[in-house]
Structure 1
Amino acid sequence: ALWCLMMSLTPTRGCLLDLPWEDILIPHILCHVPLQQLLSLQRVSKSFQSLIQLYLANMRCFDSSQIGPAIPQAAFVNLLKDSKVLQQLALQNCSGWLTDMDLLPILWRNHHLHQIQLKGCGRLSRSTLVSISLNCPNLRQLSLAHCDWVDSLSLRSLADHCKALEAVDLTACRQLKDEAICYLVQKCSRLKSLSLAVNANVGDMAVQETAKCCPELEHLDLTGCLRVKNDSIRVLAEYCPKLRSLKVKHCHNVAESSLSVLRVRGVELDVEPPLQRALVLLQDVVGFAPFINIQI
């Protein structure tokens, strides 16, 4: 794509920069070029530098992984210093250094964000989540996986102001307990996807309230939620007819007696039926699995 753009500079083809920037180049051409290549174009000339700066100011989606495995802090600040119309923001590649001071100005300027990815950004604080709540009323998807700083008060703020949420990832947010999850699902009843994985504080109360408040729920991750028991799974089966996948690996108090109802409905589960697990273990031990007629 970059080569094609450069070829447009030849005299026989005219100059790419002659095309209308805001009507043609930015919305219909540059949006299809990888961000890392666009940044390289800035070194061609001052005109290209101005064009790319205008593109960055009008960028709708920013994913730090498009630039490389790690983006320097100074480069990040420079790239987004003029952004005001972002709709999607993914910053998992900034987890090593991203702080409130870096992120809050971006949130203050961009009120149209509907998708934010902050997985592993452990140097942020509850101020970030409060700012998201106050500045992003149209938020649909939010990932806070492995963000230990998320607490019940900041989650309540999110629930109060972002009621259109459809997907929330709270994996390993270990400060959260049942009461905070219950408040979230009561306020955000449109949830379709929720992860509460790797949190030993989450129990039956949170799961049952989720089931009763979120009839549109399609995906639920309870991996490693040791306090979840069979009763919660039965309530899920009763109140969530659209459930498509459920993860309960390492939930030692959840048995096949409750999962079987979901399995019959075709819900994707991350644990095998007991007989199938036994056959796999037997095959590992003896090197083959004997033929068993499971229809008997």
Structure 2
Amino acid sequence: MSRRVRRKVARRGKEVVVLPSIPENEDEGLSLHRKEVVDWTRLPDDTVIQLFSCLNYRDRASLSSTCRTWRTLGISPCLWHSLDLRAHKCDSTAAALLASRCANLQKLRFRGAESADAIINLQARGLRGISGDYCRKITDATLSVIVARHEALESLQLGPDFCERISSDAIKAIAICCPKLRKLRLSGIREVDGDAINALAKHCRNLTDIGFIDCLNLDEMALGNVVSVRFLSVAGTTNMKWGLVSQHWSKLPNLTGLDVSRTDIIATAVSRLFSSSKSLKILCALNCQALEEDASFASNNYKGKLLLALFSDVFKGVASLFSDITMKERNVFSNWRKLNNKDKNLDEIVNWLEWILSHSLLRIAESNPQGLDNFWLSQGAALLLSLMQSSQEDVQERAATGLATFVVIDDENASIDGGRAEAVMRDGGIRLLLNLARSWREGLQSEAAKAIANLSVNANVAKAVAEEGGINILANLARSMNRLVAEEAAGGLWNLSVGKSFS
């Protein structure tokens, strides 16, 4: 979902609002040196490769066509370890042109059905991870061909928008074709039947992270057969039979983290899972109405178990995982990232927590249920800001989108919640967003610019953005060749200019 607000303006007599102008030529001071000849081919190779690494794949390919030296450097395997196709249209022709560079490609991000169809033309048989969004039109046939051509896949993620045309048949194909799969996260599938889940249990013996999110129907008994799973998310999934869940999932020998956010789970199911499962340490249940309305439910009766809910202190709960470390609870995520010697198991737990929290907070912000003002002001905004500093790019993007979304009250009338916007500002969110906007990653640029634009509808936030140098940053982004980045940056400049004119 892409929520954005733009301030509305009205004339004051003959006065009109003038948008900030952007100089077209910033190199006038260099005119005296234009006659000097610079031999760019004499730059150190590592410097050139560093420059290449800051470009999207299209600019990288264009730059490498300028001379033989840069062509050789431009196809260096280290530059094509990962590829993000989301910024530009990528059809089969474009993918075929990139194929010669993708022999060592490990990670791929794409957007939309057309890019999905083009993936096989990259001829990247060694791909380890695929992540896609805007997947509503992707079919079983397309997904089956993708996994059949990439048997080495270890991670497959499609979402957070719904994969409406993908069925259990495609999941069976995934299981058969990708025996090395370790992580599978799919959103919005209508039904995940027992045969598909049992195929995963049979063929994917290393599958430790499963997410069937916002699904309509899910076979709870079959999931109890995937004994390798450590982290399981069924957030937003409907028609769950919680009696079967507590009976079968509590027997999973390795289940460490379970995410049931935005479901109708009841207190007795939580109690049974905690009391029956020997391995379960963390249960995330954000925005679970039945659980929150049960006044008799006591969430602190399970020693060694952690329940994360809207009525609990999430920062304090996560901090309790670090029993040997003294740290401020609000800084728990940032302090964990700074640790030099991390416990591997704990590192996997916190990475998973970041992912599920960013996903659920964004979904909650999009639905904007009533009665959550206290949560957003007391810890929700701070959680999003903390997640924006994650080392996981998709977590950063979702957190920034969450900030852009949770402040919006009315899209049509460009109304935002002033208290929420200023809470972001008080917690240092403006500087964090501007730092993200400076990133060379276009996905982060776009989401950060969107958040800045929405927050800047508030006059106090707009002033803070201007004082932090946000106008120059947005002006630079408005020149981007990426249409999404340029549009969001232009929206931010518009909101800032209107705020200044009417302040």
Taking structure 2 as the reference length, the TM-score comes to 0.43
The count of corresponding residues between Structure 1 and Structure 2 is 260
1:91 aligns with: 110
For residues 157-208 of structure 1, the C-alpha deviation after alignment (integer angstroms, 9 at most, x for no partner) is: 3212311111111221225423212222232132221112222231322332
In structure 2, which of residues 85, 94, 104 is the aligned counterpart of residue 64 of structure 1? 85
* 2:90 paired with 1:77: no
My pick for the range that moved more, 223-232 or 38-47, is 38-47
Do the aligned partners of 1:139 and 1:165 also contact (CA within 8 Å) in 2? yes
Do the aligned partners of 2:261 and 2:284 also contact (CA within 8 Å) in 1? yes
Q: Residue 98 of structure 1 aligns to which amino acid in structure 2?
A: S
Q: List runs of 5+ in structure 2 lacking aligned partners.
A: 1-33, 296-309, 312-369, 375-503
2:270 aligns with: 259
Q: State the alpha-carbon separation in 2 of the partners of residues 164 and 44 from structure 1.
A: 37
| Residue 90 (structure 1) shift | 0.6
Aligned ranges 1:146-161 → 2 under 5 Å: 146-161=162-177
Classify 1:73/1:136 alpha carbon distance in 2 versus 1 (closer, same or farther; 3 Å): closer
Do the aligned partners of 1:41 and 1:48 also contact (CA within 8 Å) in 2? no
Q: List runs of 5+ in structure 1 lacking aligned partners.
A: 1-9, 288-296
Partner of 1:80, secondary structure, is helix
Considering only aligned residues, what root-mean-square deviation do their CA atoms show, in Å? 4.1
Do the aligned partners of 2:256 and 2:281 also contact (CA within 8 Å) in 1? no
* 2:164 paired with 1:117: no
Do the aligned partners of 1:84 and 1:110 also contact (CA within 8 Å) in 2? yes
Taking structure 1 as the reference length, the TM-score comes to 0.69
| Residue 115 (structure 1) shift | 0.1
Q: Residue 41 of structure 2 aligns to which amino acid in structure 1?
A: L
Do the aligned partners of 2:99 and 2:124 also contact (CA within 8 Å) in 1? no
Do the aligned partners of 1:208 and 1:235 also contact (CA within 8 Å) in 2? yes
1:140 aligns with: 154
2:241 aligns with: 228
Classify 1:126/1:56 alpha carbon distance in 2 versus 1 (closer, same or farther; 3 Å): farther
Classify 1:19/1:242 alpha carbon distance in 2 versus 1 (closer, same or farther; 3 Å): farther
Paired-residue identity, %: 15
Do the aligned partners of 1:41 and 1:49 also contact (CA within 8 Å) in 2? no
Q: State the alpha-carbon separation in 1 of the partners of residues 98 and 61 from structure 2.
A: 16
Q: Residue 216 of structure 2 aligns to which amino acid in structure 1?
A: A
2:231 aligns with: 218
Do the aligned partners of 1:38 and 1:52 also contact (CA within 8 Å) in 2? no
* 2:283 paired with 1:268: yes
Do the aligned partners of 1:63 and 1:90 also contact (CA within 8 Å) in 2? yes
Q: State the alpha-carbon separation in 2 of the partners of residues 124 and 274 from structure 1.
A: 34
Q: Residue 165 of structure 2 aligns to which amino acid in structure 1?
A: W
Partner of 1:259, secondary structure, is helix
Aligned ranges 1:160-175 → 2 under 5 Å: 160-174=176-190
1:291 aligns with: none
Partner of 2:83, secondary structure, is strand
Q: State the alpha-carbon separation in 2 of the partners of residues 247 and 48 from structure 1.
A: 54
Q: Residue 114 of structure 1 aligns to which amino acid in structure 2?
A: R
Q: Residue 170 of structure 2 aligns to which amino acid in structure 1?
A: S
